[in-house]
């Protein structure tokens, strides 16, 4: 019986590159806590800061009223998020 298969095939795992790519993209998604302007409860938002400054409407997870979310990106890349009624 000749087991001629060397069995030492080295595999370069593509997951490493994918993981790094994923982590880069994850950095854009920041979880930011704002205070709902209606019920004054803290609400955690997942804000995609890769889109730069933006404003959109998101329902409060506590009282379900629509908050106007305004995202501003500071000079240091830090997102400044405000919720307004």
Catalog residues that contact Zn ion under the rule CB under 5 A. Answer: 36, 38-39, 60, 62-63
Cβ-based nearer residue to Zn ion, 44 or 62: 62
Shortest Cβ distance from residue 39 to Zn ion (Å)? 3
Tallying the residues shown for the chain, one arrives at: 85
Cβ-based nearer residue to Zn ion, 47 or 83: 83
Q: 50 Cβ partners below 8 Å, 6+ apart?
A: 25, 28
Pairwise CA distance, residues 81 & 64, whole Å: 19
Strand partners, 73: 79
Pairwise CA distance, residues 19 & 68, whole Å: 34
Shortest Cβ distance from residue 64 to Zn ion (Å)? 7
Shortest Cβ distance from residue 11 to Zn ion (Å)? 51
């Amino acid at each position: 019986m000749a087991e001629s298969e060397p069995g030492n095939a080295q595999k370069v795992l593509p997951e490493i590159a994918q993981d790094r790519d994923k982590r880069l993209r994850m950095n854009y998604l920041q979880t930011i806590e704002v205070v709902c302007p209606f019920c004054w409860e803290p609400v955690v938002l997942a804000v995609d800061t890769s889109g730069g400054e933006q404003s959109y409407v998101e329902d409060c997870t506590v009282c379900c009223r629509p908050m106007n979310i305004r995202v501003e990106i500071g000079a240091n890349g830090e997102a400044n998020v405000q919720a307004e009624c």
